[in-house]
Amino acid sequence: MTSPLVALITAGSAGLGAATARLFARNGIRLVISYDSSGQRAYELVEELTNISPLTAAGTDRQDNYVALKADLAEKDQISQLVDNTICIMGKLDIVFSNGTWIRLRDINDLDDNVNEEDWDTCFNMNVKSHLWLMHAAKPYLDQTEGVFITTACLAGVKVGGSSLAYSVTKAAQIHLAKGLAQIAAPKIRVNTVSPGLMLTDCGLQFPPEKQEEARERSKLKRWDVAEQVLCFVKSKSVTGVNAIFDRGMAL
C-alpha cells in the first residue's frame, strides 16, 4: 500500500498556509505546519486537520499525522532544524510549500518613504533568502521522493505594487529565484510559484479599508482558489518553473 504524501507548510497557521493545510488534510496528506509566534492558533489548526482528514476516518489516527513546529524563518539555522525535525517525525518529505513572507506598509509612490534599509534587508531575508535556505535544506529529501517545492510570491512581483517598493522588488526576485531553482533541481524536483493579488489574510488586512475595497472592485472574479492551485502543482508531475498569477481578472 502506498504511504500518504508528507508536506511541510511554512507560515502555515493562518491565511493561505492554513487554507492549503486544510485542503491537503482533506486529501489525505500528512502535514507539518510551521509557526513563529501564533502557537495556540497552530495547535488548534492541528486538531482541526486531524478531525477532517480521511486518515483519521480510516483508522490511521497517528499522533504524528499533523504536527506544528515553531521556527523563525528569518534564521537559516532554524530553517534547517525545521526540515530535520520534519524528517525525524515523518520519515520523508514529498511537498514543501514555502509560504513565509514579510511586509511593512509604505507609500509606494514616495521614494523617500521607500529607502529604509531595515525594510530592504528584512524583505530580502524573508521574501528571497528564506526560500533559498528552505530549498537547500529540503533538497536531499525531495530528491528521494521526486517531490515538489512551491513558493508563495505575489502579483506585486509581476507588476510594481503592494505594500512597498522593497516588497515588490523582493517578490520579483523570489519569482526569479524559483525559476533558477527549477533549473537546478530538475529532473527530480519540480519548483513552482503562486502569485496572488491582495488577499484578506493577516497581511492583507494591514492595508487601509479603501485599498481593500479598491482591490475587490477592480477584480472581475470575487473569489480566490489559490490553495487549489498549490494542490494542482503537487499533482502535476510535468510542470516546473511556472509562476501562476492570481489577479482575478484585474488585467482584463
Give DSSP secondary structure letters for the chain. -PPPPEEEETT-SSHHHHHHHHHHHHTT-EEEEEESS-HHHHHHHHHHHHHH-HHHHTT---TTSEEEEE--TT-HHHHHHHHHHHHHHHS---EEEE---------TT-GGGG--HHHHHHHHIIIIIHHHHHHHHHHHHHHHHT-EEEEE--GGGTSS-SS-HHHHHHHHHHHHHHHHHHHHHTTT-EEEEEEE---SSTTGGGS-HHHHHHHHHH-SS----HHHHHHHHHH-TT--S-EEEE-TTTT-
pLDDT over 60 (residue 151): yes
CA distance 138 to 134: 6
pLDDT over 90 (residue 215): no
What's the pLDDT score for residue 218?
62
Look up cell 521526486; give the residue: 146
pLDDT band at 59 (very low <50, low <70, confident <90, very high): low
The torsion angles phi and psi of 70, rounded to 5 degrees, stand at -85, 135
Contact 23, 150 (CB under 8 A): no
- Distant-in-sequence, close-in-space partners of 125: CB < 8 Å, separation ≥ 6: 74, 102
Ranking 46-50, 133-137, 174-178, 196-200 by mean pLDDT, the lowest is 196-200
Quick one: CATH architecture of 6-246? 3-Layer(aba) Sandwich (3.40)
pLDDT over 60 (residue 213): no
What does the pLDDT look like over 64-87, one tens digit per residue? 899 999 999 999 999 999 999 999
pLDDT band at 247 (very low <50, low <70, confident <90, very high): confident
For the chain, the C-alpha Rg in angstroms (whole number) is 18
pLDDT band at 18 (very low <50, low <70, confident <90, very high): very high
Print burial letters for 5-27: b (CB count within 10 Å at least 16), e (below 16): bbbbbbbbbbbbbbbbbbbbbee
What's the pLDDT score for residue 38?
84
Q: Where are the domains of the chain?
A: 6-246
pLDDT band at 181 (very low <50, low <70, confident <90, very high): very high
